[in-house]
Amino acid sequence: MKKILIAFDGIHFSKSAFDFAKKLHEISPVLLTGVFLPQISYANVWSYGEGIGGPLFVPSLDDSETEAIEKNISLFEDLCKRNDIEFRIRKDFTDLALPELRKESRFTDLMLLGSETFYENMGTGDPNTYLKDALHGIECPAIVVPNLFRFPTSNILAYDGSASSVFAIKQFIYLLPEFLDNKTMLINITSNEQKSIPDEAYIEELTSRHFKDLTITKLDIDPKKYFSTWIADRESSILISGSFGRTSFSNVFKKSFIADVIKEHKVPVFIAHK
Distances in Å between the Cα of 83 and the Cα atoms of 21, 23, 109, 205, 226 are: 11, 10, 21, 39, 39
Alpha carbons 231 and 104: distance in angstroms, whole number: 33
Mean pLDDT by 10 residues, the chain (274 residues): 86 89 96 81 47 45 75 95 96 60 89 71 50 68 88 93 92 96 89 77 97 91 68 85 50 51 73 82
The pLDDT of residue 136 = 65
Given the candidates 1.10.1760.20, 3.40.50.620, 3.40.720.10, 3.10.420.10, the CATH classification of the domain at 2-145 is: 3.40.50.620
Which residues does 32 contact at the CB level (< 8 Å), separation at least 6?
4, 6, 21, 25, 80, 85, 86, 87, 88
Q: If you write DSSP's letter for every residue of 142-206 in order, what string do you get?
A: EEEE-SS-PPPSEEEEEE-S-HHHHHHHHHHHHH-GGGTTSEEEEEE-S-TT--S-TTHHHHHHH
| Domain locations in the chain as residue ranges | 2-145, 154-272
How many C-beta atoms surround the C-beta of residue 50 within 10 A?
13
Q: How far apart are CA 18 and CA 143, in angstroms?
A: 12
Say what the pLDDT of residue 252 is. 41
Q: Could you please state the CATH topology (level 3) that the domain comprising 154-272 is classified under.
A: Rossmann fold (3.40.50)
